[in-house]
């Protein structure tokens, strides 16, 4: 039989070292150790076995606890090795994130037969987020139940199965319009051409999945016939990054990730974004130009829903990565195949049809909140800036 030694109290240097010294002196074997400090309070658990777990070591540990001004408890454990359970990482994010939301998530987890093993804070701003390590439960059911609770509590919840691929993800591919940048570039071009309302109606229907993307894009581009290149340049200069976009890309790059963009928009904008942000990969549509004017046509194949997914796979192959090592971020129906092809698909302030199809969804307006879904805490973001 093994013995769980639990030490709690005010944290200060030397507690763990002193505990290990006592165990060494009495010939105890250490099977497991876990330690956490929360706002200066220590919780240290050590599972010991062997001959050195008798009364002598208990007396020595009790005396040590008194000297260190901490509390110690002893709990006998069965020696039967527990069957490893499926584990998940559950990230809860909100601005704000009230106790009711955490309580609701915890109740849903329990109802799914899942147990919370550990909770740690990832960030306090620009949104508050916590990561829960959960054992037990079915992945599909957990996502369904927690997604429902997220809607009820008006927070975001991401569920990802614990695996070697979670730590091995190394490629992020993003949509551009209404994801990496604010708004839709084609609507900005349409405003220059005097047909903004008509183009906006078609764009909304296409992004909601009501229209075929390629057909809708060609129809919208046709309305831009005769627009001067100078107007395209004005739109390019007016494009604004989504809040947190620069932080997201800079952090990922400094942590050794590869970052790419795939857009149903146009290279007239994405070429500048690639250079400005130092992106590794980019794919977008090419507007045909003759005599300094748009012809109303697209050169070559349209980057559509299937094309985006194919681009993600191609980028991954070029980097020597498996699809499981990729993350995709998007907001429109034409992003769904790309989100499905990635190891983790994130719907960012997306249409309902996209939220339903994605692995997880973000509703906060900060793109760098994606980092928290990847398990990267705010203090590591700060170090990477």
Q: Which residue has the tokens 């045909």?
A: 288
Q: Tell me: do 105 and 205 sit in the same domain.
A: no
Query: Residue 355 in contact with residue 361, Cβ under 8 Å?
Result: yes
Assign residue 136 the CATH number of its domain: 3.30.70.260
Q: Tell me: do 34 and 137 sit in the same domain.
A: no
Residue finishing a domain among 77, 105, 130: 77
Q: Tell me: do 70 and 12 sit in the same domain.
A: yes
pTM, rounded to two decimals: 0.85
Mean pLDDT calculated for residue range 317-330: 95
Domain that includes residue 318, residue range: 172-384
- Cis peptide bond N-terminal to 51, omega within 30: no
Q: Which residue out of 11, 156, 175, 337 is catalytically annotated?
A: 175
Please give the C-alpha separations between residue 329 and each of 19, 33, 96, in angstroms, as whole numbers.
47, 37, 23
Compute the distance between CA of residue 74 and CA of residue 301 in angstroms, rounded to an integer. Answer: 68
Residue finishing a domain among 51, 77, 103: 77
Assign residue 316 the CATH number of its domain: 3.40.50.1000
The answer to whether 175 is a known catalytic residue is yes
- Say how many domains are in the chain: 3
Q: Tell me: do 116 and 243 sit in the same domain.
A: no
- Reported confidence tier of residue 78, pLDDT bands at 50, 70, 90: confident
pLDDT at 80: 57
pLDDT tens-place string over residues 365-378: 999 999 999 989 99
Longest dimension (CA), the chain: 92
Q: Tell me: do 178 and 139 sit in the same domain.
A: no
Residue finishing a domain among 26, 58, 77: 77
Backbone phi, psi, residue 287, to 5°: -80, 130
The answer to whether 21 is a known catalytic residue is no
Q: Tell me: do 210 and 95 sit in the same domain.
A: no
pLDDT at 24: 93
Classify residue 82: in a domain, yes or no: no
What is residue 242's DSSP assignment? P
Q: Which residue out of 11, 156, 177, 304 is catalytically annotated?
A: 177
β-pairing verdict for 128-135 and 156-161: unpaired
Q: Tell me: do 110 and 190 sit in the same domain.
A: no
Q: Tell me: do 211 and 358 sit in the same domain.
A: yes
Mean pLDDT calculated for residue range 312-332: 96
Number of H helices, E strands in the chain: 16, 15
The neighbour count for residue 111, using CB atoms within 10 Å, is 11
pLDDT at 84: 59
Compute the distance between CA of residue 347 and CA of residue 73 in angstroms, rounded to an integer. Answer: 46
């Amino acid at each position: 039989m093994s013995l769980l030694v639990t030490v709690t109290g005010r944290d200060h240097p030397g507690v763990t070292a002193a505990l290990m010294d006592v165990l060494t002196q009495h010939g105890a074997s250490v099977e497991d150790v876990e330690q956490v400090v929360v706002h200066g309070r220590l919780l240290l658990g050590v599972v010991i076995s062997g001959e050195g777990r008798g009364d002598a070591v208990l007396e020595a540990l009790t005396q040590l606890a008194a000297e260190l001004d901490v509390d110690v408890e002893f709990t006998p454990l069965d020696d039967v090795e527990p069957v490893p359970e499926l584990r998940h990482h559950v990230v809860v994010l909100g601005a704000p994130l009230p106790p009711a939301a955490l309580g609701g998530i915890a109740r849903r987890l329990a109802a799914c037969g899942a147990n919370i093993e550990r909770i740690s804070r990832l960030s306090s701003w620009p949104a508050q987020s916590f990561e829960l390590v959960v054992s037990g439960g079915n992945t599909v059911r957990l996502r369904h139940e927690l997604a429902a609770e997220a809607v009820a509590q008006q927070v975001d919840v991401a569920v990802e199965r614990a695996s070697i691929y979670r730590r091995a993800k190394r490629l992020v591919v993003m949509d551009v319009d209404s994801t990496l940048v604010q708004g839709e570039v084609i609507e900005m071009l349409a405003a220059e051409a005097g047909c903004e309302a008509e183009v906006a109606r078609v764009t909304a229907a296409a992004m909601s999945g009501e229209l075929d993307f390629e057909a809708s894009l060609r129809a919208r581009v046709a309305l831009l016939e005769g627009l001067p290149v100078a107007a395209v340049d004005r739109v390019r200069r007016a494009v604004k990054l989504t809040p947190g976009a620069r932080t997201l890309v800079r952090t990922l790059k400094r942590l050794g990730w590869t970052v790419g963009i795939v857009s149903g928009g146009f290279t007239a904008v994405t070429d500048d974004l690639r250079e400005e942000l130092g992106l590794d990969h980019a794919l977008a549509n090419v507007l045909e130009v003759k005599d300094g004017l748009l012809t109303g046509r697209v050169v070559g194949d349209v980057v559509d829903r299937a094309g985006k997914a194919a681009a993600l796979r191609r980028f991954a192959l070029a980097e020597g990565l498996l699809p499981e090592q990729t993350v995709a971020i998007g907001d429109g129906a034409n992003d769904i195949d790309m989100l499905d092809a990635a190891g983790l698909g994130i719907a960012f302030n997306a249409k309902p049809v996209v939220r339903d199809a994605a692995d997880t969804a973000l509703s906060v307006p900060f793109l760098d909140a994606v980092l928290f879904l990847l398990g990267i805490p705010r203090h590591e973001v700060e170090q990477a800036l």
